[in-house]
Amino acid sequence: MCRWLAYWGTPVLLDTILYKPEHSLIDQSLHSKLGVETTNGDGFGIGWYSPGNTTPALLRDVGPAWNNRNLRELADHVRSPLFFAHIRASTGTAVQQSNCHPFRHGRWMFMHNGAIDGFPLIRRELTLLVDPSLFPELEGTTDSEVMFHLALTYGLDRDPPAAVAEMAAVVERVGRAHGIEHPLQMTLAVTDGERVWTFRYSSAHASRSLFYSNRVDALRRLHPDIAFLRELSEESRLVVSEPLGDLPGAWSEVPESSYGVIQPGLDEMHRFAPAAA
């Protein structure tokens, strides 16, 4: 499948998060520990928000992240308070820029790890459920892009958890109607540039791994010698497919069938249960 990372907090150089950690996402592109595939070399993408522009910027390319010089350059020069990064392991669909995450719609970004089981079988039916006004935006062939546009169809910009739940319910309904026992497997992240919602869910309740970083103030007390932690606000937060290192106390697992909200003030964690449809 894939690996991803979402950052929200004090503006940092992308390098600090993308390359510096011992088991960084770039390292995971070569040697994932918890993924279904150990290599995630079928394209990558980053998306970040800059001051004065509500639309995030995207850098996406079809080669592996680990040897991409443009990504390395940007990581050394771009600072951002909110960014997504994704490395892809294709399960057969074309390796092309339009299949690289994150996907974008206006100020919204979306990325995904997982799969819709039997997607070739139900791709047409799901695609037809995308709002016709959004149809022209579909450029690739991934289940993820369709999931994003279904969530947009169901009101992502009004109520993200409800829209994602409806998307998940629809995928499960259509999949089961085609005899697929466990249609959906997903960890996903969406953002409007202000808050980040992350979801961990699968029809079989055996979801891909997902972790969040613990509160920075608690980490600082545990590790007073780590300079980097002193630069971060207490609310800064990472959500990752797998931990970026072995720092004791740094990571907590996102519970099965739940979603989190990262936002100014207290973050939240809730149960995620797509309505049986």
CB of 176 to its own copies, least distance (A): 19
Nearer to its own copies, 9 or 43 (CB): 43
CB of 90 to its own copies, least distance (A): 6
CB of 263 to its own copies, least distance (A): 23
Nearer to its own copies, 96 or 257 (CB): 96
Distances (CA, A) of 157 to 12, 70, 191: 27, 32, 10
Nearer to its own copies, 27 or 256 (CB): 27
List 2's β-bridge partners, or say none.
88
Cα 87 from Cα 2, distance rounded (Å): 6
CB of 71 to its own copies, least distance (A): 10
CB of 171 to its own copies, least distance (A): 17
Nearer to its own copies, 83 or 272 (CB): 83
Cα 113 from Cα 147, distance rounded (Å): 11
CB of 22 to its own copies, least distance (A): 18
Q: Using alpha carbons only, what angle is made at residue 185 by residues 182 and 189, rounded to the nearest 5 degrees?
A: 155
Tokens of 110: 């979306």
Tokens of 168: 């998940």
Tokens of 95: 């390796």
CB of 268 to its own copies, least distance (A): 30
Query: Which of 137, 153, 215, 150 shows the shortest CA–CA distance to 184?
Result: 150
Nearer to its own copies, 170 or 239 (CB): 170
DSSP secondary structure code for residue 155 in this structure: T
Look-up of token digits 């892809």: 88
Cα 173 from Cα 116, distance rounded (Å): 12
Cα 213 from Cα 99, distance rounded (Å): 28
* Cβ count within 10 A of residue 91: 14
CB 207 within 8 A of CB 172: no
Nearer to its own copies, 34 or 138 (CB): 138
Nearer to its own copies, 73 or 234 (CB): 73
Nearer to its own copies, 119 or 211 (CB): 119
Residues making contact with its own copies (CB under 8 A): 30-31, 38-39, 41-42, 50, 53, 55, 57-64, 66-67, 69-70, 73-74, 76-78, 90, 93-98, 120-121, 123-124, 127-128, 132, 135-136, 138-139, 141
CB of 204 to its own copies, least distance (A): 24
Query: Which of 96, 147, 138, 95 shows the shortest CA–CA distance to 117?
Result: 147
